[in-house]
């Protein structure tokens, strides 16, 4: 009884004390908050004032932690301390120092217009900057403006596009529905394209490509990254200098835009030139049963293009373990797409090529091969699936054609392919 009383008494004594203590705590907290708020306000005002004169140096570094390094200039010495990890300048001195200050801010009637501006095909971004920018993706898929989707025609060439006059005819009258990108050898002199050509000024910053080596998939990814900078590009077609279109622009545009599937050829092949090129060091990321082969000439959509330029995992695996006689351009995309994006892939390509003669290179076609019959066979000579239906238009492009075939192509094209 007494014990209970004692306890009760202790309780009654303790309660007001606690209340007082709580009140004190509350006051401390309250003033603490006011203090923090005041300090924050002060810092804010100071910062705003400083920003008028001072420029930030952002260093865009590798996509590691932290994504940005904040590099305060000497004017900042009197401002509040910033976590040392952030202010530590990177040890890589090769990065572009981008300064964003008031002078570089452009105030327009519509800021979105500024944002959507497309850089020139030839720009000064380095690869790291280019790929980072290209990988941007809006989480809201429907744009708040009317966008006419374009097809990006990406030419991976040694020199000039051999059948350029045919392509000129193909593109004529379809301005606004396509964009062109060319990745030639860096030594290529682009003055072959005059001002009036659709290929004029469409060269991107390129690097040397060696047949069958990893530089080939690097160039493909580089083309994709450059084409992704234009938000209106929704389909991406890889072409060589010896490719020709088999249909007119409107047919090809409609076929690509309406397709529910992407076109990355992928098949499983036994033997030395198929599974034989697999390296067990790629396991467990890539299993032998997942190894695929296919033509490098793809036709894909924006979503897959974004995934390809953002991929580091599979790309580095191929860089490390796929060297000739493993040709990464025949395996990288077919394998990665079959593992990760197979649901929306057709496993076929829209680019016709003749491997019937065997050997490491497909057949070339000269003047004498070019007849109406031959072209009609390429256009309608096979069956395939398109959006769940069986159709007989399975190829929109063909290779490899030499400049000797040009005069006949130019003669047949208007009537046969209904170029206008
Ligand atoms: C800051 O760097 C130190 C070592 O330099 C590290 O221990 C700490 O975790 C880093 N802090 C953050 C937030 O990255
Ligand atoms: C960028 O700035 C840092 C520090 O100010 C400097 O060390 C580096 O050389 C600069 N890099 C370039 C490419 O100018
Ligand atoms: C630094 O930049 C130069 C010229 O832009 C380039 O040649 C060099 O490979 C770069 N080095 C590194 C380590 O990125
Ligand atoms: C490219 O070719 C043009 C004309 O053939 C020539 O005048 C020019 O010097 C060349 N440019 C380069 C960089 O070789
Ligand atoms: C393109 O070709 C198709 C037939 O293949 C034809 O119906 C269409 O009118 C042509 N388009 C133009 C713009 O000429
Ligand atoms: C494409 O290949 C993948 C596996 O490699 C398979 O799962 C898929 O069903 C194939 N798609 C079509 C349309 O044949």
Q: What is the DSSP string of 223-260?
A: HHHHHHTSTTEEEEEEEETT-EESS-HHHHHHHHHH-S
Question: In Å, how far from its chain's centre is CA 112?
Answer: 21
Residue 71 and residue 189 in one domain: no
Residue 237 contacts residue 264 (beta carbons within 8 Å):
no
Would you say the C-alpha torsion 240, 242, 244, 249 has a positive or negative sign? positive
Question: In Å, how far from its chain's centre is CA 27?
Answer: 56
Task: Give CA–CA dist 60/68, Å, rounded.
Answer: 6
Q: Whose CA is nearest to atom 7 of ligand 4?
A: 191
Residue 101 and residue 139 in one domain: no
Q: Which of 259, 265, 342 to mutate to test the pocket of ligand 6 (most atoms within 8 A of CB)?
A: 342
Task: Give CA–CA dist 418/21, Å, rounded.
Answer: 90
Q: Whose CA is nearest to atom 4 of ligand 4?
A: 191
Q: Whose CA is nearest to atom 11 of ligand 5?
A: 250
The pairing of beta strand 68-70 with beta strand 397-398: unpaired
For the Cβ of 342 lying below 6 angstroms from any atom of ligand 6, the answer is: yes
Task: Give CA–CA dist 234/311, Å, rounded.
Answer: 19
Ligand nearest to the CA of 95: 2
Provide the pLDDT for residue 155.
Answer: 98
Task: Give CA–CA dist 116/230, Å, rounded.
Answer: 8
Provide the pLDDT for residue 348.
Answer: 98
b/e sequence 28-46, b meaning 16+ C-beta within 10 Å: eeeeeeeeeeeeeeeeeee
- Cα of 254 vs centre of ligand 5, distance in Å, is 11
Residue 94 and residue 133 in one domain: no
Q: Which of 93, 94, 95, 126 to mutate to test the pocket of ligand 2 (most atoms within 8 A of CB)?
A: 93
Domain CATH number, residue 185: 3.90.550
Q: Decide: residue 133, CB within 10 A, 0-12 exposed, 13-18 middle, 19+ buried.
A: middle
pLDDT in tens, 278-323: 999 999 999 999 999 999 999 999 999 999 999 999 999 999 999 9
Q: Ligand 4, residue 190: give the atom nearest the CA.
A: 1
Provide the pLDDT for residue 39.
Answer: 62
In a domain, 17, yes or no: no
Consecutive 10-residue averages of pLDDT for the chain (420 residues):
42 44 53 58 54 42 35 37 40 70 68 86 94 94 91 96 95 97 94 92 96 95 97 97 96 98 97 94 96 97 98 97 95 98 98 85 85 94 97 97 93 88
Residue 418 contacts residue 412 (beta carbons within 8 Å):
no
Cis peptide before 379 (omega within 30 of 0): no
Range list of H helices, 209-367: 214-228, 249-258, 302-310, 313-321, 332-340
Helix (H, G, I), strand (E, B) or coil at 39: helix
Residue 97 and residue 195 in one domain: no
Provide the pLDDT for residue 363.
Answer: 86
Q: Which of 338, 339, 349 to mutate to test the pocket of ligand 6 (most atoms within 8 A of CB)?
A: 338
Would you say the C-alpha torsion 355, 357, 358, 361 has a positive or negative sign? negative
The pairing of beta strand 389-391 with beta strand 384-386: antiparallel
Q: Closest Cα to residue 263, out of 167, 131, 162, 352?
A: 352
Residue at which a domain ends, from 347, 363, 387: 347
Provide the pLDDT for residue 191.
Answer: 85
Provide the pLDDT for residue 368.
Answer: 82
In a domain, 352, yes or no: no
For the Cβ of 214 lying below 6 angstroms from any atom of ligand 6, the answer is: no
Residue at which a domain ends, from 319, 347, 375: 347
Residue at which a domain ends, from 347, 362, 394: 347
Task: Give CA–CA dist 90/69, Å, rounded.
Answer: 7
Range list of H helices, 324-365: 332-340
Residue 181 and residue 286 in one domain: yes
In a domain, 188, yes or no: yes
Residue 87 and residue 175 in one domain: no
In a domain, 229, yes or no: yes
- Cα of 111 vs centre of ligand 3, distance in Å, is 34
In a domain, 374, yes or no: no
Helix (H, G, I), strand (E, B) or coil at 367: helix
Q: Range of 232's domain?
A: 128-347
Question: In Å, how far from its chain's centre is CA 101?
Answer: 28
Task: Give CA–CA dist 60/328, Å, rounded.
Answer: 30
- Residue 179, strand partner residues: 152
Residues 6+ apart with CB under 8 A from 324: 212, 213
Number of structural domains (the chain) is: 2
For the Cβ of 346 lying below 6 angstroms from any atom of ligand 6, the answer is: yes
Provide the pLDDT for residue 98.
Answer: 79
- Cα of 187 vs centre of ligand 4, distance in Å, is 11
Token output for 203: 């060269």
In a domain, 304, yes or no: yes
Task: Give CA–CA dist 44/79, Å, rounded.
Answer: 10
In a domain, 201, yes or no: yes
Q: What is the distance between the terminal CA atoms of the chain, rounded to a whole angstrom?
A: 108
Q: Ligand 6, residue 268: give the atom nearest the CA.
A: 5
Residue 232 and residue 101 in one domain: no
For the Cβ of 191 lying below 6 angstroms from any atom of ligand 4, the answer is: yes
Ligand nearest to the CA of 379: 5
Q: Whose CA is nearest to atom 1 of ligand 6?
A: 347
Task: Give CA–CA dist 35/47, Å, rounded.
Answer: 18
For the Cβ of 187 lying below 6 angstroms from any atom of ligand 4, the answer is: no
- Cα of 85 vs centre of ligand 1, distance in Å, is 6
Q: Closest Cα to residue 386, out of 280, 282, 254, 298?
A: 254
Q: Whose CA is nearest to atom 3 of ligand 2?
A: 93
């Amino acid at each position: 009884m007494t014990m209970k009383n004692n306890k009760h008494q202790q309780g009654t004594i303790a309660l007001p004390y606690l209340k007082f203590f709580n009140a004190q705590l509350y006051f401390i907290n309250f003033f603490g908050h006011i203090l923090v708020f005041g300090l924050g306000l002060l810092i804010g005002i100071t910062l705003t004032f400083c920003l008028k004169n001072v420029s930030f140096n952002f260093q865009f570094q590798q996509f590691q932690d932290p994504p940005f390094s904040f590099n305060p200039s000497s004017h900042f010495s009197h401002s509040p301390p910033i976590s040392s990890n952030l202010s530590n300048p990177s040890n890589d001195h090769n990065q572009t120092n981008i300064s964003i200050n008031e002078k570089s801010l452009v105030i327009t009637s519509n800021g979105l217009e500024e944002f959507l501006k497309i850089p020139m095909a030839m720009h000064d971004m380095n690869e790291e900057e280019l790929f980072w920018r290209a990988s941007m993706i809006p989480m809201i898929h429907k744009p708040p403006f009317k966008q006419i989707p374009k097809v990006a025609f990406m030419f991976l060439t040694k020199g000039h596009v051999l059948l350029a006059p045919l392509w000129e005819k193909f593109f004529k009258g379809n301005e606004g529905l396509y964009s062109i990108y060319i990745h030639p050898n860096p030594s290529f002199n682009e003055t072959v394209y005059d001002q009036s050509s659709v290929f004029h000024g469409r060269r991107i910053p390129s690097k040397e490509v060696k047949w069958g080596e990893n530089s080939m998939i690097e160039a493909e990814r580089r083309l994709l990254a450059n084409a992704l900078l234009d938000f209106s590009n929704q389909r991406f077609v890889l072409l060589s200098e010896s490719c020709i279109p088999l249909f007119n622009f409107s047919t090809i545009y409609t076929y690509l835009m309406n397709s529910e599937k992407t076109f990355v050829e992928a098949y499983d092949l036994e033997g030395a030139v198929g599974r034989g090129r697999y390296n067990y060091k790629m396991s467990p990321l890539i299993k032998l049963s997942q190894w695929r082969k296919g033509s490098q000439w793809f036709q894909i959509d924006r979503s897959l293009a974004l995934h390809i330029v953002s991929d580091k995992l599979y790309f580095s695996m191929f860089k490390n373990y796929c060297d000739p006689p493993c040709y990464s351009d025949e395996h990288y995309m077919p394998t990665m797409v079959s593992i990760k994006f197979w649901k929306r892939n057709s496993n076929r390509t829209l680019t016709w090529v003749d491997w019937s003669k065997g050997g490491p290179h497909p057949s070339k076609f000269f003047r004498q091969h070019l007849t109406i019959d031959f072209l009609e066979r390429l256009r309608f000579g096979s069956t395939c699936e398109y959006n769940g239906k069986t159709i007989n238009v399975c190829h929109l492009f063909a290779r490899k054609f030499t400049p000797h075939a040009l005069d006949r192509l130019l003669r047949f094209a208007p009537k046969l392919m209904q170029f206008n």
